Structure 1
Amino acid sequence: MSELSRWEDLFREGNLKELSLGAMKVTREHFGNSVFLRGLLEYSNYCSCNCFYCGIRRDNGRVERYRLDDDMIYAAVDSGFIRGLRTFVLQGGEDPEFGTDRMCRVVREIKRRTGDAAAVTLSCGILSRESYAALKDAGADRYLLRFETADTELHSYLRDGVSLERRLKALEDLRSLGFQTGSGFMVGLPGEDDELILRNIRLARKLELDMIGIGPFIPHPATPLRDAPQVPLEKTLLATALLRLFCPRAHIPATTAAGSLEPDGREKMLSCGANVLMPNISPVEVKPHYLLYPGKICLDEDGLHCIGCLGGRVAAVGRKLSFDRADGLICKRRDRVEAGT
């Protein structure tokens, strides 16, 4: 039996203790005790998509919609940069008002204001290869595009007809253009079993991702999945530990959704191999309107003020915060191979 097969069996058995011990050993080998910070900026909750699980889906008429203007984005980045953040994640719905030209302008200005010392990560959904290329030329370093599930039928159902193939093609375009590429999946979707979670993890490994975000599915009351059962956080913790063992060099966030299910959910993910935290630096007045799921934490707090709190949480599990921009180890290795060094 291979080592990975043994880890899979432990996942099926629900042996979190042994999986987390193995995951933390691997994490320390590649990242030491560091937990890297990324400033998350949710710039728009308008979305042309109608995904069944998402609280800002197009057909949810209860959402108070907003768009940050460019100056608000720059002000948040400036404040974060002064505080020491060296990675900024710009995330929004698939909003036509934030087209390629505008996003390129925003990326260039962030790069200018930070002297190119900060990494810019975008999470804007599926775009054309030409748009991705323009964003890369503008200076974007990383791109996040979660596949959410490796099951083609479930993917099409959850995303209102958008195919998994289209999602994976976008990820292929991003990688081929030189982006540090991130993806990931939800744990506990309706109809999901352990074997599908294992398929998700195997797909993440096959994609050779620089960043992999996973978190618990939390049913939103204003979506078609409102009555779906809530799967306990432990399943996400098992998946996190196994993911670390399958993808030892990937950055894995301890997601806010885990902290929304349990007060120490993020700490538990850190103890299972996660190595990234993403304080939300969006303006406080818009945070309550970017609710992909209910019960989201830290909506009334300035994300920069949260950094001190996060330091204490990280120390409690034997880790330490790092402000390093922490470029992807997989992308670095790929560049060395292509350069022949």
Structure 2
Amino acid sequence: MIDVKKIQNIDLDYLTHIIETDKYDEEIFRIADEIRRKYVGEEVHLRAIIEFSNYCSQHCLYCGLRAENKNLQRYRMTVDEIVERARLIANLGIKTVVLQSGEDPYYTTEMISEIISEIKKLDVAITLSIGERSFEEYKIWKELGADRYLMRHETASPQLYAKLHPGDTFENRRAHLLEIKRLGYETGAGFMVGLPDQTPYDLALDLAFIKEIDADMIGIGPFIPNPDTPLKESTGGDLQTTLRMVALARIVVPTANIPATTALGSINPFGRQYGLKYGANVIMPNLTPNPYRPNYSLYPGKICLFERDTACVECTKTMIKSIGLVVGEGYGYRRKVEEVSVDC
């Protein structure tokens, strides 16, 4: 039997042992599902994504949006286009709009402020996922009504982080996430599984970090090599290890909102369903309008690129119901509890 207390108390040696083998997966998956049912229930929350710009000033070695990629057709949506798309999302009954982009300085403080102010009139929660901005901007946007900020840390290994992010450090990313948390955002971190040179101990550090910051949202997906990046020849992350990390994240932070990520569905046709069975409770349908959608090319093989651009919603709802879960109709804020006790 696995020792749940050692996992929750972040015993790094024990976590490394659990992570490096599939020997305990059946038990880990069962416990994660029990914890999910106990602390977040049967509802699966929908977060509709608008990928409004694929310009990025950063140089991350794994990402198709990296500044050096000359093979990508770049685009930027206007403020009016973004707000109109958010209006469509609200009319579809989805209560969270995720505004996602590369790190694109074209969108000024004032432009993002206008977008937030207009979208808040639609009675939806707003998640920002636009990378590192100034601490003052985080404050301004929180005061205007932004509810959540998603900024995956990708790896909590300082050495691996530095190798993958030229000119940046894990401590810098950590500082941004802590400031976002301090300002009162629901704060999202998360990491990739199967990065080149990543070890089971590195993945244990990721669990320690999401526990340290008490992450409200935890996005976990497999590394998928992009042919337009320096890591194009690398081996990608596998489904089983990624699902193991989703389940362990649920055990470590029982009340967090954890998406079954698009990347899971991109490496396996049933990847997102497995994610929901093993601890996840969020799905993020892609509502980026065409013709922009195919050009938000983080990695190859991304699902839901060429269909009718609102088709993801009904498809996602059908998928949720097919595995016996319930489509959430509320804003999907994290349900905090005074004390977490796991008796599995």
TM category (shorter chain) comes to over 0.9
**Counterpart among 113, 138, 154 of residue 132 in structure 1:** 138
Q: Which residue of structure 1 aligns with residue 193 of structure 2?
A: 187
Describe the shift of the 1:333–1:103 C-alpha distance in structure 2 as closer, same or farther (beyond 3 A). Answer: farther
Superposition deviation, residue 309 in structure 1: 1.6
Q: Which residue of structure 2 aligns with residue 37 of structure 1?
A: 46
1:110 aligns with 2:119: yes
Superposition deviation, residue 328 in structure 1: 2.0
**Cα pair 2:47 2:283 within 8 Å, conserved:** yes
Superposition deviation, residue 311 in structure 1: 2.1
1:86-126 superposed Cα distances (whole Å, 9 cap, x missing partner) = 100000011111121110111001112x1xx2100101111
Task: Give distance in 2, aligned partners of 1:328 and 1:129.
Answer: 23
Superposition deviation, residue 30 in structure 1: 1.4
Task: Give distance in 1, aligned partners of 2:309 and 2:97.
Answer: 12
**Cα pair 1:211 1:251 within 8 Å, conserved:** yes
**Cα pair 1:11 1:19 within 8 Å, conserved:** no
Give me the identity figure in percent: 39
**Cα pair 1:108 1:139 within 8 Å, conserved:** yes
Describe the shift of the 1:209–1:60 C-alpha distance in structure 2 as closer, same or farther (beyond 3 A). Answer: same
**Counterpart among 284, 291, 299 of residue 290 in structure 2:** 284
**Counterpart among 216, 223, 230 of residue 229 in structure 2:** 223
CA RMSD of aligned residues (A): 1.7
1:313 aligns with 2:319: yes
Q: Name the SS of the counterpart of 1:17 in structure 2.
A: helix
1:47 aligns with 2:64: no
Task: Give distance in 2, aligned partners of 1:218 and 1:60.
Answer: 16
Q: Which TM-score applies when normalising by structure 1?
A: 0.93
Q: Which residue of structure 2 aligns with residue 338 of structure 1?
A: none
The AA in structure 1 aligned to 2:21 is E
1:271 aligns with 2:280: no
Q: Which residue of structure 1 aligns with residue 211 of structure 2?
A: 205
Task: Give distance in 2, aligned partners of 1:56 and 1:91.
Answer: 12
Describe the shift of the 1:246–1:303 C-alpha distance in structure 2 as closer, same or farther (beyond 3 A). Answer: farther
Q: Give the unaligned 5+ runs of structure 2.
A: 8-13, 340-344
Q: Name the SS of the counterpart of 1:47 in structure 2.
A: coil
Superposition deviation, residue 333 in structure 1: 6.6
The AA in structure 2 aligned to 1:40 is I
1:205-240 superposed Cα distances (whole Å, 9 cap, x missing partner) = 111011010100000000011011123211100111
**Counterpart among 165, 175, 183 of residue 181 in structure 2:** 175
**Cα pair 1:183 1:204 within 8 Å, conserved:** yes
Superposition deviation, residue 10 in structure 1: 4.1
**Cα pair 2:51 2:288 within 8 Å, conserved:** yes
Task: Give distance in 2, aligned partners of 1:111 and 1:315.
Answer: 29
Superposition deviation, residue 323 in structure 1: 2.3
**Cα pair 1:183 1:211 within 8 Å, conserved:** yes
Q: Name the SS of the counterpart of 1:329 in structure 2.
A: coil
Task: Give distance in 2, aligned partners of 1:32 and 1:24.
Answer: 10
**Counterpart among 86, 91, 101 of residue 82 in structure 1:** 91
Q: Name the SS of the counterpart of 2:50 in structure 1.
A: strand
The AA in structure 2 aligned to 1:13 is T
Query: What number of residue pairs does the alignment pair up?
Result: 330
Superposition deviation, residue 2 in structure 1: 5.1
1:17 aligns with 2:26: yes
Q: Which residue of structure 1 aligns with residue 301 of structure 2?
A: 295
Q: Name the SS of the counterpart of 2:140 in structure 1.
A: helix
Q: Name the SS of the counterpart of 1:13 in structure 2.
A: coil
Task: Give distance in 2, aligned partners of 1:267 and 1:239.
Answer: 15
Task: Give distance in 2, aligned partners of 1:59 and 1:48.
Answer: 9
Task: Give distance in 2, aligned partners of 1:278 and 1:17.
Answer: 26
1:254-288 superposed Cα distances (whole Å, 9 cap, x missing partner) = 00001110111100111110000001111021111
**Cα pair 2:317 2:327 within 8 Å, conserved:** yes
The AA in structure 2 aligned to 1:84 is G
1:72 aligns with 2:81: yes
Task: Give distance in 2, aligned partners of 1:264 and 1:16.
Answer: 17
Superposition deviation, residue 303 in structure 1: 4.7
The AA in structure 1 aligned to 2:6 is S
Q: Which residue of structure 1 aligns with residue 258 of structure 2?
A: 252
Moved more, 313-322 or 303-312: 303-312
Task: Give distance in 1, aligned partners of 2:19 and 2:329.
Answer: 33
Q: Which TM-score applies when normalising by structure 2?
A: 0.92
Q: Give the unaligned 5+ runs of structure 1.
A: 335-341
**Cα pair 1:105 1:138 within 8 Å, conserved:** no
Q: Name the SS of the counterpart of 2:127 in structure 1.
A: strand
Q: Which residue of structure 2 aligns with residue 164 of structure 1?
A: 170
Superposition deviation, residue 12 in structure 1: 3.5
Superposition deviation, residue 31 in structure 1: 1.7
**Cα pair 1:46 1:56 within 8 Å, conserved:** yes
Q: Name the SS of the counterpart of 2:74 in structure 1.
A: coil
Q: Which residue of structure 2 aligns with residue 337 of structure 1?
A: none
Task: Give distance in 1, aligned partners of 2:66 and 2:314.
Answer: 33
1:288-311 superposed Cα distances (whole Å, 9 cap, x missing partner) = 100101100110124532222222
